């Protein structure tokens, strides 16, 4: 119990102490609140007192900030004025002494114009802008003069030797000058075309010349860029065209290019025209692959970033030169067709096809459309004319009415001409294939070429049959046909035509040759062989005869003498005439002599052995038996040698 009371007293004491502590804390709190309240009142009064000062300080600060901004703006404007003065001084001095500085001054002028255009609140902005624009116009005008002067200074015609240096070795003058593209000769087509050479040329490397020094190109580019930015595209185009087009034309003139039209072409002798066509083919390669390619590079570098302007300048500069070149091709394509022109037409067609991809690449863009179309148009026209000329040839061969007399029965000029013509065609197989693809329909192009070749050969045979009828001697008719068809067969066998015409054609025509050889022997020797026959030698009364029981029993000596006389006369006549005839092929000539000897000599030996004694035992035997078999064989060796061919036709 006592412990409980004591505990309660202790709690009471603690509670009493806590009340006292709380009362003291409240008193302190009240005092602090009172003090803070006093501070608040004082601070409020102080703030009220300081507010006017704060307002004045803020205004002063703002004023200082505005002043700083104005000063800075003034400094920028003054700096622009200073830059304007510097730019103006350089522009007034001109571009000659310091072109790069002059170009920089123009850029600065433009920068100033942009600056004052965006600061229109500056009261003098309008005047500054007007002044700068006037100065800029003068600067660009001087720039045009500078561009023209520099372009003129560095634009010189290219000498032919420099152009030749860019050609593949096979096309340089040392291995084939421009004027040595074909060697005229005889009636046959003059040509040294080779498709193998064309393949080599397709992979050949061409090196376009440097038309303007590389060191000057960046400056010219900068000048052009400034003119474009000033909107002076037309002035730039005019200057570039007037300068560069004349240079191109002069370069071509130095090379040998002439401006020739249809009338000029029609008046020329074929040999002269053929040489000019060979030159034109060479000039086209040089112009497109070297000269125009070099000019394209100049345009692309000078007008980099302005593609349409580059294309337009290139088109304007090259138009005249291209026209001169293409007009000659057009004149040839539109001139009167003739067989000898086929191969030069094919050559011209080939070069246009060869250059097609380069023309499409170099003459790119809308501005060059007309040039590309003109080149393509010429290619098609050459193809059409070549195809028509090719078609004319077959008809011309069949209807050839030349009066050239081949008195000795040798190969007719028409035959050699046509065969050479056909052989040359095979140098153009790929080109003719292209022509057939464009203009023909039917089976494969190879069969078309074979068909055309066979028709030409048949046309030639038809014509030769007609020409053979001019001979009065049937033996010479067959000798003539034998010679000519043999020439055809031999030529085909030794050329690519054999693969095209086939072995059947060759074998068929070899049989025809043999048939004419047999017909020749029959017509030329049948009559004389009858003299060596025993038919008609029986005694008919009158004259002496031998009746010793030998082989010549009952044969009239007078008839034998007569036979020997007739034989001698006929053989001498044959020898005189046929030694003037010609079989130009050695093998055929020997074969024909042997065939005659195989028939004549055994018959003569037999006749001489059987009836020779009748004459030899009589008076003047040498008058009748004039020749031994060996004499005849020797004289046969003189046949077909073409001796005295200028004697009148028999």
Q: Tell me, what CATH number does 567's domain have? A: 1.20.1280.170
Question: For 519-535, what is the mean pLDDT?
Answer: 92
> Can you give the residue range of the structural domain that contains 293?
158-167+205-394
Tell me the pLDDT band of 650, cut-offs 50, 70 and 90. Answer: very low
Q: Is residue 403 part of a domain?
A: no
pLDDT of 12 above 90:
no
pLDDT at 86: 55
According to the 3-state scheme, what is the secondary structure of 568-637? Answer: HHHHHHHHHHHCCCECCCHHHHHHHHHHHHHHHHHHHHHHHHHHHHHHHCCCCHHHCCCCCHHHHHHHHC
Structure tokens at 447: 């069969």
Tell me the pLDDT band of 380, cut-offs 50, 70 and 90. Answer: very high
- 193 near 424, Cβ under 8 Å? yes
Question: For 521-542, what is the mean pLDDT?
Answer: 80
State whether 221 and 329 are in the same domain.
Answer: yes
* 398-453 tens-digit pLDDT: 888 877 778 899 999 999 999 988 888 888 888 887 877 776 555 545 677 788 88
pLDDT at 437: 75
State whether 305 and 357 are in the same domain.
Answer: yes
pLDDT of 184 above 70:
no
| Residue written as token pair 């026959």 | 533
- How many CA atoms within 13 Å lie on the side-chain side of 56? 4
Q: Is residue 369 part of a domain?
A: yes
Percent of the chain past pLDDT 70, that is, above it, reads 73
pLDDT of 77 above 60:
no
Q: Is residue 646 part of a domain?
A: no
- How many CA atoms within 13 Å lie on the side-chain side of 149? 9
Q: Is residue 162 part of a domain?
A: yes
Q: Which has the minimum average pLDDT: 180-189, 355-364, 561-570?
A: 180-189
State whether 528 and 507 are in the same domain.
Answer: no
Q: Is residue 344 part of a domain?
A: yes
Q: Is residue 13 part of a domain?
A: no
What is the rounded average pLDDT for all residues in the chain? 81
State whether 442 and 380 are in the same domain.
Answer: no
State whether 242 and 375 are in the same domain.
Answer: yes
State whether 483 and 590 are in the same domain.
Answer: no
Choose between 226 and 517: higher pLDDT. Answer: 517
Where b means 16+ CB within 10 Å and e means fewer, 487-524 reads bbbbbbeebebeebbeeebbeebeebbeebbebbbebb
Phi, psi (deg, nearest 5) at residue 395: -65, -40
State whether 46 and 141 are in the same domain.
Answer: yes
pLDDT at 190: 44
pLDDT of 139 above 80:
no
- 327 near 261, Cβ under 8 Å? yes
Choose between 178 and 332: higher pLDDT. Answer: 332
181-195, 219-233, 437-451, 483-497 — most confident range = 483-497
Instruction: Report d(CA 359, CA 318) in Å as an integer.
Output: 12
Mapped onto helix, strand or coil, the DSSP state of residue 641 is strand
Instruction: Report d(CA 511, CA 426) in Å as an integer.
Output: 25
- 265 near 273, Cβ under 8 Å? yes
pLDDT of 249 above 90:
yes
State whether 377 and 485 are in the same domain.
Answer: no
pLDDT of 305 above 60:
yes
Question: For 56-61, what is the mean pLDDT?
Answer: 72
- 353 near 299, Cβ under 8 Å? no
State whether 230 and 379 are in the same domain.
Answer: yes
Q: Is residue 44 part of a domain?
A: yes
State whether 315 and 457 are in the same domain.
Answer: no
End-to-end CA distance of the chain: 190
- 313 near 227, Cβ under 8 Å? no
Q: Which residues, at least 6 apart from 304, have a Cβ–Cβ distance to it below 8 Å? A: 221, 310
pLDDT of 156 above 80:
yes
pLDDT at 549: 38
State whether 486 and 528 are in the same domain.
Answer: no
State whether 328 and 374 are in the same domain.
Answer: yes
Question: For 187-214, what is the mean pLDDT?
Answer: 68
Q: Is residue 400 part of a domain?
A: no
* 541-599 tens-digit pLDDT: 444 444 443 445 567 788 888 999 999 999 999 999 999 999 999 999 999 999 999 99
Number of domains in the chain: 4
pLDDT of 528 above 70:
yes
């Amino acid at each position: 119990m006592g412990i409980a009371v004591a505990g309660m007293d202790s709690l009471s004491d603690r509670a009493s102490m806590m009340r006292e502590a709380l009362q003291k804390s409240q008193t302190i709190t009240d005092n602090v609140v009172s003090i803070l309240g006093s501070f608040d009142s004082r601070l409020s009064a102080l703030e009220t007192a300081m507010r006017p000062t704060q307002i004045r300080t803020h205004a002063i600060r703002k004023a200082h900030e505005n002043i700083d901004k104005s000063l800075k703006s003034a400094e920028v404007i003054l700096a622009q004025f200073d830059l304007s003065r510097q730019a103006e001084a350089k522009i007034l001095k001109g571009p000659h002494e310091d072109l790069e500085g002059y170009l920089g001054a123009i850029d600065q002028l433009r920068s100033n114009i942009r600056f004052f255009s965006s600061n229109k609140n500056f009261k003098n902005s309008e005047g500054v802008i007007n002044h700068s624009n006037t100065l800029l116009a003068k600067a660009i005008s001087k720039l045009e003069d500078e561009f023209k002067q520099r372009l003129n200074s560095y634009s010189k015609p290219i000498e032919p030797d420099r152009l030749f240096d860019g050609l593949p070795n096979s096309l340089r003058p040392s291995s084939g000058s421009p004027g040595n593209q074909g060697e005229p000769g005889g009636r046959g087509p003059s040509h040294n075309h080779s498709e193998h050479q064309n393949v080599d040329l397709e992979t050949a490397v061409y090196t376009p010349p440097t038309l303007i020094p590389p060191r000057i190109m960046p400056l010219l580019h900068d000048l052009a860029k400034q003119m474009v930015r000033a909107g002076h595209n037309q002035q730039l185009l005019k200057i570039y065209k007037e300068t560069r087009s004349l240079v191109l034309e002069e370069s071509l003139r130095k090379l040998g290019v002439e401006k020739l039209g249809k009338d000029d072409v029609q008046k020329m002798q074929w040999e002269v025209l053929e040489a000019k066509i060979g030159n034109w083919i060479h000039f086209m390669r040089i112009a497109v692959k070297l000269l125009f390619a070099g000019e394209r590079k100049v345009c692309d570098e000078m007008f980099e970033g302005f593609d349409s302007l580059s294309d337009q300048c290139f088109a304007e500069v090259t138009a005249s030169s291209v026209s001169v070149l293409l007009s000659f091709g057009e004149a040839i394509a539109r001139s009167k067709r003739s067989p000898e022109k086929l191969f030069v037409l094919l050559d011209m067609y080939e070069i246009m096809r060869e250059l097609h991809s380069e023309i499409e690449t170099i003459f790119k863009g809308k501005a060059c459309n007309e040039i590309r179309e003109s080149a393509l148009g010429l290619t098609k026209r050459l193809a059409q004319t070549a195809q028509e000329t090719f078609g004319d040839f077959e008809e011309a061969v069949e209807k050839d009415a030349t009066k050239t007399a081949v008195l000795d029965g040798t190969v007719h000029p028409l035959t050699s001409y046509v065969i050479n013509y056909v052989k040359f065609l095979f140098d153009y197989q790929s080109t003719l294939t292209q022509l057939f693809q464009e203009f023909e329909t039917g089976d494969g192009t190879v069969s078309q070429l074979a068909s055309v070749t066979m028709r030409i050969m048949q046309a030639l045979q038809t014509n030769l049959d007609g020409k053979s009828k001019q001979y009065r001697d049937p033996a010479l008719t067959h000798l003539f046909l034998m010679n000519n068809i043999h020439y055809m067969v031999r030529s085909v066998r030794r050329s690519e035509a054999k693969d095209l015409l086939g072995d059947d054609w060759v074998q068929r025509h070899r049989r025809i040759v043999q048939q004419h050889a047999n017909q020749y022997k029959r017509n030329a020797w049948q009559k004389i062989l009858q003299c060596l026959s025993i038919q008609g030698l029986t005694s008919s009364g009158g004259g002496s005869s031998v009746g010793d029981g030998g082989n010549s029993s009952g044969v009239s000596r007078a008839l034998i003498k007569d036979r020997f006389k007739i034989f001698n006369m006929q053989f001498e006549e044959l020898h005189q005439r046929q030694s003037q005839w010609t079989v130009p092929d050695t093998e055929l000539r020997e074969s024909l002599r042997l065939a005659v000897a195989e028939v004549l000599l055994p018959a003569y030996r037999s006749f001489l052995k059987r009836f020779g004694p009748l004459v030899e035992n009589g008076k003047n035997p040498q008058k009748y038996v004039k020749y031994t078999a060996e004499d005849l064989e020797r004289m046969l060796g003189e046949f077909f040698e073409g001796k005295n061919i200028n004697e009148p036709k028999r």
